[in-house]
Amino acid sequence: MEVVMPDGSVRAFPRGTPLSAIAEAADPALARRAIAALLDGVEKDIYWPLEGGGRIEFITPESPRALEIYRHTTSHLLANAVKDLFPEVKIGIGPATEEGFFYDFERREPFTPEDLERIEARMRAIKERDLPIRRIEQPKEEALAYFRRLGDNLKVELVSEKGGPVVSCYRQGEFMDFCTGPHLPSTGRIGAFKLLSLAGAYWKGSEENQQLQRIYGTAFPTDARLQEHLRLLEEAKKRDHRKLGPALDLFSVEETAGPGLIFWHPNGTIVRQVMEDFWKEEHRRRGYQMVTTPHIARDELWRMSGHFEYYRENMYTFEIEESGYVIKPMNCPGHSLIYKSRLRSYRELPIRYAELGTVYRYERSGVLHGMMRVRGFTQDDAHIYCTREQILDEIKGVLDLVITFLKTFGYDRYEVDLSVRDATHPERYAGNADGWKMAEDALVQALQSRGLSYTRREGEAVFYGPKIDVRMFDAIGRPWQGPTVQFDFNLPQRLGIQYIAPDGSQTPVVMVHRAIYGSLERFVGGLVEHYAGSFPVWLAPVQAVVMPITDRTRDYAREVQRILRQAGLRCDLDERSEKIGAKIRDAQLKKVPFMLIAGDREAQARTVSVRSRREGDLGPMGLLAIRDRMVQMNAGRVPGP
């Protein structure tokens, strides 16, 4: 048979030659390192006997696809160790994930952290034994009989559902698992790994099903890469907004008041207001009109909008004088009422209503998370009511706005998703096919016109319309949910939102719902982590601290503060009787961008010694020079340090 080698040459091998032998023939050094192969692009185990020839490539520990194989094999190692130590345990599934791997187990007693240590030790022992890992293809019935004999009901369920007439399993020593592979050729080839945590997880991801115990871990080909990953986890921990936020006195969550409710402290409120000012400025400039709508409304409104039907579980309701009321979970019905408060002509469109609207939603206690997932939050919401002809320009306008914001906040990397409906199930969606097509075309055209590449996500649209979602990546490469643009075919229909067309007819509007920050809480939480608490000058709660060195220069320092404050800068004065080193240390810990040191020399020369939080001592600068520089950074919303 003929084999196309990795270098492109074609060579002949006898049928049944193992891929490892082909690697050997290609390059003995490669053969030693190859952990698996690609046959015409399909992953195969390295010992797999090749029957029909084809194009061969080899996967080495450095290959991007290698990681998944290492992790998947390590998850089997985990299950193997658990079975050894706890024979009564039933095994579920154990895939590789973005960050590592997990395996789900059914066991009456909970695993303890001590169990985890024992399991990890056993895993290492099995790795040491260097057991061969072999793929076994057998009739489905045989595999079923095997798992039945072990009482592994979950596996029996999986094999019955997923397996064809012949199913593949992987065996290492006494342990065998139902799996498509590929895997490392032996347990000794497994790299560095670590078990990380314990969690509950529903069988097949459904709340209806029993809950299993999930053990999480991570694995890498080398210890260096594992250590690097663990270091990154530490780094993420240091940036955690739930830690930094209270430490920098930005916000707190108060048990007395209840979970999921954010108290914005003065420092946090500065960040928030600066963001709000920027937002209002940009929106007014682009023809948005600010509106304000009430926090509560009769349930009548929410019945009309459909929320009472579809969103009730998330709404807080109460009664006043025997009428039912709802605390608003969304702003759109309110905006639509303003639109409907009188007849609208096509001449008025597009109408763009914007509101920093605070909404409250009931979220199950287990999902709450710092500022990221809360029960009360402020959306930077806007609704665009326009004609079909105006759609494209409107979407383009929104995308321009989105890009402006991403840049300003230093999110240089982002990805765009376009979520469209599952066209095979039109009954699940509001609006007609024509509307969906038109909306989708407009979204695609707008994205193209702005040179934005995107991933199309079939069936990911909400029931009321297609949407664009932006995912932004922070300074250490983690994704955050960003701006979103959504069409809404439901509300205009339900609320009868129309305009008078040139021919005098009543025509339904097209409604677009969009948010840039999403929620101020979530966005600020993300920013804290993105900047690790070191906000750029324009956002920093305190932009500079003036530090007199001795009491002799106290009055001068006060003057410096006054000058900066008069220029609109947020400037503190540290006149404690501490040494300069201590003042610097404290300002540094508060992540203040500039420290302005005022000693005798500076007072004499009408300068300050400038110290940057990031670059350290920058030497003396004239008062007006530092003032103007900071004013420029502030007004220019310079995203950097």
Residues 414-473 that bind RNA (CB under 7 A): 462
Touching RNA, residues 305-324 (CB under 7 A): none
Cα separation, 312 vs 345, in Å, equals 34
Nearer to RNA by Cβ, of 161 and 208: the residue is 208
- Asked whether 215 and 78 are in contact (CB, 8 A), the reply is yes
Cα separation, 167 vs 159, in Å, equals 8
75 binds RNA, rule: CB under 7 A = no
- Asked whether 486 and 462 are in contact (CB, 8 A), the reply is yes
Q: How many residues of this chain bind RNA (CB under 7 A)?
A: 71
Quote the strand ranges of 239-339, DSSP E. 251-253, 262-264, 289-290, 296-298, 316-320, 323-327
Q: Is 332 a catalytic residue?
A: yes
Nearer to RNA by Cβ, of 7 and 207: the residue is 207
Touching RNA, residues 174-213 (CB under 7 A): 197-202, 205-207, 211, 213
Residue-by-residue DSSP string for 226-240 = HHHHHHHHHHHHHH-
Nearer to RNA by Cβ, of 131 and 330: the residue is 330
| DSSP label of 324 | E
Q: Is 503 a catalytic residue?
A: no
216 binds RNA, rule: CB under 7 A = yes
Listed residue (282, 329, 281, 356) closest to 519, CA to CA:
356
Q: Is 381 a catalytic residue?
A: yes
Q: Is 467 a catalytic residue?
A: yes
Cα separation, 585 vs 427, in Å, equals 63
Q: Is 283 a catalytic residue?
A: no
| CA 96 to chain centroid | 19
Query: Which of 122, 189, 225, 467 is an active site residue?
Result: 467
Minimum CB–partner distance for residue 327 and RNA (Å): 14
Q: Which helix (H) or strand (E) holds 83?
A: helix 66-85
328 binds RNA, rule: CB under 7 A = no
Listed residue (443, 462, 464, 465) closest to 454, CA to CA:
443
- Scanning the structure block, which residue is given the tokens 């492109």? 8
- Asked whether 193 and 123 are in contact (CB, 8 A), the reply is yes
Q: Is 211 a catalytic residue?
A: no
Among 602, 623, 626, 639, binds RNA (CB under 7 A): 602
Sign of CA dihedral 82, 84, 86, 92: positive
Q: State phi, psi for 328 to the nearest 5 degrees.
A: -65, 130
Nearer to RNA by Cβ, of 302 and 377: the residue is 377
Q: State phi, psi for 468 to the nearest 5 degrees.
A: -115, 130
Angle at CA 454, nearest 5°, toward 449 and 458? 120
Nearer to RNA by Cβ, of 49 and 622: the residue is 622
281 binds RNA, rule: CB under 7 A = no
- Asked whether 328 and 314 are in contact (CB, 8 A), the reply is no
230 binds RNA, rule: CB under 7 A = no
24 binds RNA, rule: CB under 7 A = no
Query: Which of 172, 213, 379, 561 is an active site residue?
Result: 379
Minimum CB–partner distance for residue 379 and RNA (Å): 6
Query: Which of 307, 513, 530, 613 is an active site residue?
Result: 513
Nearer to RNA by Cβ, of 37 and 399: the residue is 399
Minimum CB–partner distance for residue 301 and RNA (Å): 19
Touching RNA, residues 112-151 (CB under 7 A): 112-113
Region near RNA per CB under 7 A, out of 177-185, 296-304, 594-602, 630-638: 594-602
Cα separation, 318 vs 641, in Å, equals 48
363 binds RNA, rule: CB under 7 A = yes
Q: Is 513 a catalytic residue?
A: yes
Cα separation, 197 vs 485, in Å, equals 37
Spatial strand order in the sheet of 54-59: 10-12, 2-4, 54-59, 36-39, 42-45
Query: Which of 169, 179, 332, 386 is an active site residue?
Result: 332
- Scanning the structure block, which residue is given the tokens 């029960």? 375
Query: Which of 189, 383, 522, 570 is an active site residue?
Result: 383
Region near RNA per CB under 7 A, out of 27-35, 132-140, 558-566, 585-593: 585-593
Among 231, 364, 428, 562, binds RNA (CB under 7 A): 364
Minimum CB–partner distance for residue 403 and RNA (Å): 18
242 binds RNA, rule: CB under 7 A = yes
Nearer to RNA by Cβ, of 176 and 557: the residue is 557
478 binds RNA, rule: CB under 7 A = no
Nearer to RNA by Cβ, of 48 and 111: the residue is 111
3-state SS assignment for residue 33: helix
595 binds RNA, rule: CB under 7 A = yes
- The residues assigned a catalytic role are 332, 361, 379, 381, 383, 467, 513
